[in-house]
Amino acid sequence: MDFKPTIVSFLCNWCSYTGADLAGTSRMKYAPNIRIIRVMCSGRIEPTFILKAFREGADGVLICGCHPGDCHYHEGNYKCLRRFHLIQKYIQQMGINKDRLRLDWVSASEGKQFAELADEMTETIKELGPCEVKNTMEKLDKIC
Amino acid sequence: MEEKRIGVYVCWCGNNIALMVDVEAVSEEMKKLPNVVIAKNYKYMCSDPGQDLIINDIKEHNLNRIVVAACSPRIHELTFRKALENAGLNPYMFEMANIREQVSWVHTNREEATRKAKSLVVGAINKVSFHEPLDKRSVDIDPATLIIGGGISGISAALLIADSGNKVYLVEKTGKLGGHTANVDLTFPYLYSAQQMIDFKIKRLINHPNIELFLDTQIEEIFGYVGNFETTLKINTAEKVELKFGNIIVATGLKTFDPSGIEEYGYGKLPDVITSSEFEKMLLHGKVQTKEGKVPKNVVIIHCVGSRNKNYHEYCSRTCCMTALKYSNQLRSALPHSNIFQVYADMRAFGKGCEEFYTQSSRKDIMFLMFDQQNELPKIREAGKKDNCNLIVEINEKLSGEPIEVPADLVILMTSMEAHEEAKNIAHAVGISMCGNDFYIEKHPKLDPVATTTDGVYIVGTCQGPKDIPDSISQAEAAAARILAIILQGSVHVEVTTAFVNEEVCCGCQTCICVCPYTAISFDEEKNVSVVNEILCKGCGTCGSACPTGAIRCRHFTDKQILSQIEGLMSITLEEV
Ligand SMILES: Cc1cc2nc3c(=O)[nH]c(=O)nc-3n(C[C@H](O)[C@H](O)[C@H](O)COP(=O)(O)OP(=O)(O)OC[C@H]3O[C@@H](n4cnc5c(N)ncnc54)[C@H](O)[C@@H]3O)c2cc1C
Ligand code: SF4
Ligand code: SF4
Ligand code: SF4
Ligand code: FES
């Protein structure tokens, strides 16, 4: 059977969530694999959220915030960017391919870009195949 | 702890959701979840009967948490929060799942869409399980208003607010009031004089005791929040003025498009090719003539210059068609024997009195020629020695399908309206967003057209998008009325989704203080803990994700709420489809 990945996506309220809404109001079609969680700012996104998503079986995590310089709270997205690089390193140590975690900027007017991003991310994850972290961790849980 | 009793409501949104999502299956599935007391689906949840459904169920079944799966929370979250309040429940015991913008409108396989919708609703149910009642907080409103931009929009808003007895600070970056309206001669469709309209308003404004005017001044930074903003104006190198105000109106207006980049038109190289703004100047001086000072025999007016074309702006500038017709009328009176050509792409006579104006104008011996704005712009070239004119305009006439050449002594380019280059600076100063064309974005394009996503900041006139004078004034006065209503109340409710430090867990590392963009966190030396000032905190949550001990709780987006939402989202995947 076809591999149908699940991707958890964190979007900031002001730009990216609005951009995703615009993709909807413009009836742009994209892959159904993305599940969105709204946070006020990408600066709110902490490593535990991302790890939790993988732990629950997500095959990818997509974070979107306002473009650099456009964060509603001035610089939350820069803080997110810094954290992103650290988390990417960290998940690699856990054996998760770094491309399973992606950060991108989507403005309120970029509905099309959001739809394309969702498709692109789905393609990337399909190529990578299912993420095994959940299973590994479940096994570990049993052993311990 | 109190028993959790959750009500779930899945909206059809007419056919908008129900066609792509099996709403019945979604509500049935939710009935199986722990703590879900009731799960229903209904045609229009946001309608009065839809809201009553929730209100009655809350009362009858003692529900204490509600989930609505419908459109984007950006549209109806407040509607439903109010419904909860009406039923006596704290409005924050609510969560929305967005199954329209994020599901039914963007997906094509009904089964997959239904599964995704289910997972989003489970996520929302999980999150709402951990919601806590939050107390409303209100702040007093400073009755003064800051208006940025002294065009017809800013002036109109200023007068209305000042007439009510409240203070207005009007900041204009140039040395002169009136904006573009002050450079227009007559106005379509009734040919009233723009000067008379605006001069009267400017006089009243300058003498108004409640209006303080700052010319040649620009805003740099604005601090605060609705009700209590402040800024420092640099009047010149030595002088600084500090202002405090409760609301802001952005009325920075438009810029006209520079057509030098359109090769076909030769603007800047061919002296008798001019822009509409330059033509207004001629009309104001009462002299329509060529560069050489001759009376033009043939006048060609080209529409949509910089508008409705992928290479420039895709949008329609809305006012230029009627402005162009206004020119034919003015030209016909000034030069009764001239040949006048309207070279247009589509004639847009959108406003009151405009279609009639079009019919009238077309009876004045004016030639209408249509071109293909997307694929083939007209070309202007210098006329030859033998030609009896200055310029030749080549058009592939769309209706006849024939290529034709039109003689011209004067060509008027109907240039588009665009956003200012520095639009971004103001957007940053007041905390609002811009659309792809750099016009400012309203809170909701249909339901909330003059407010923005930042409370206390309004956008009016052409900084929001191309429009004519009456539409600009309508917006300006609408925003003024909104502000007066708030001033009258004396206070407003502000977001209570702020951060909060659990003193028992805080280790005093002060990481949060370093990351807060609003210096909302300070350090209590005595207790060795950080403290959030909830008036200054805007609830971005950055401190929460930086705090190493988990001492900070970002209300309404707590770790527990989000982690549980993730579990919910992941509980149903597409796999089985
Ligand atoms: C050639 C032409 C002909 C037209 N003819 C007609 C007509 O016949 N009928 C009609 O209804 N409409 C007409 N219009 C449209 C009309 O001019 C606009 O609808 C109207 O001027 C919009 O007013 P506004 O106040 O929104 O913007 P503007 O007129 O652009 O005023 C904005 C003001 O804000 C100031 N400003 C900008 N940035 C800042 C800043 N950062 N800080 C402080 N101040 C700032 C500007 O200096 C300006 O004074 C015409 C437009 C043009 C270009
Ligand atoms: S109003 Fe008329 S001239 Fe102006 S952009 Fe729209 S269609 Fe073109
Ligand atoms: S980051 Fe956390 S532990 Fe450190 S001072 Fe702030 S609240 Fe306390
Ligand atoms: S939520 Fe944002 S604004 Fe509020 S204290 Fe934390 S970092 Fe500062
Ligand atoms: S609000 Fe969008 S990234 Fe901060």
Q: What is the pLDDT of residues B504-541, one digit of tens each?
A: 999 999 999 999 988 889 999 999 999 998 888 889 99
Q: How many CB atoms lie within 10 A of CB B155?
A: 27
Q: What is the pLDDT of residues B143-172, one digit of tens each?
A: 999 999 999 999 999 999 999 999 999 999
What is the amino acid identity at position B157? A
B106 touches chain A (CB under 8 A): yes
* A positions 71-90 inside 8 Å of B (CB): 72-76, 79, 83
A14 touches chain B (CB under 8 A): yes
Each residue's pLDDT, cut to its tens digit, for chain B (577 residues) gives 689 999 999 999 999 999 999 999 999 999 999 999 999 999 999 999 999 999 999 999 999 999 999 999 999 999 999 999 999 999 999 999 999 999 999 999 999 999 999 999 999 999 999 999 999 888 899 999 999 999 999 999 999 999 999 999 999 999 999 999 999 999 999 999 999 999 999 999 999 999 999 999 999 889 888 999 999 998 877 889 999 999 999 999 999 999 999 999 999 999 999 999 999 999 999 999 999 999 999 999 999 999 999 999 999 999 999 999 999 999 999 999 999 999 999 999 988 999 999 999 999 999 999 999 989 999 999 999 999 999 999 999 999 999 999 999 999 999 999 999 999 999 989 988 888 899 998 988 888 899 998 889 999 999 999 999 999 999 999 999 999 999 999 998 887 899 999 999 999 999 999 999 888 899 999 999 999 988 888 899 999 999 999 999 999 999 999 999 999 999 998 876 5
B542 touches chain A (CB under 8 A): yes
Residue B32: Cβ-neighbour burial (10 angstroms; 0-12, 13-18, 19+): exposed
- Residue B577, pLDDT score: 53
Q: Which two tokens stand for residue B321?
A: 């068609």
How far is residue B225's CA from residue B218's CA, in Å, rounded to a whole number? 20
Ligand 5 centroid to residue A84 C-alpha, Å: 14
How far is residue B322's CA from residue B466's CA, in Å, rounded to a whole number? 13
Nearest to B463 by CA among B74, B150, B198: B150
Q: Smallest Cβ distance to B106: which of A23, A57, A70?
A: A23
Partners of A115 on chain B (C-beta within 8 Å) are 106
> Taking the CA atoms of chain A, what radius of gyration do you get in angstroms?
15
Cβ of B26 closer than 6 Å to ligand 3, yes or no, is: no
Q: Smallest Cβ distance to A37: which of B434, B554, B565?
A: B565
Partners of B433 on chain A (C-beta within 8 Å) are 14-15, 18, 70, 72, 107-108
Cis? peptide before B189, omega within 30° of 0:
yes
How far is residue B300's CA from residue B408's CA, in Å, rounded to a whole number? 6
Strands, sheet with B145-148, edge to edge from the N-terminal-most edge strand: B211-214, B168-171, B145-148, B247-250, B457-459
Ligand 3 centroid to residue B544 C-alpha, Å: 9
Q: What are the structural domains, with CATH classification, of chain B?
A: 6-134 (3.40.50), 145-253+420-492 (3.50.50.60), 256-417 (3.50.50.60), 495-555 (3.30.70.20)
Q: Which residue does chain A place closest to B563, by CA atoms?
A: A49
Cβ-contact A35, B123 below 8 angstroms: yes
Nearest to B282 by CA among B330, B319, B332: B330
Q: Which two tokens stand for residue B358?
A: 């079009």
Cβ-contact B353, B209 below 8 angstroms: no
Cβ-contact B83, B55 below 8 angstroms: yes
What is the amino acid identity at position B288? V
As its CATH architecture, domain A7-143 has 3-Layer(aba) Sandwich (3.40)
Mutate to test the interface with A, among B71, B74, B101 (most CBs of A within 10 A): B101
Cβ-contact B112, B98 below 8 angstroms: no
DSSP state of B319: S
Q: What is the pTM of this model?
A: 0.79
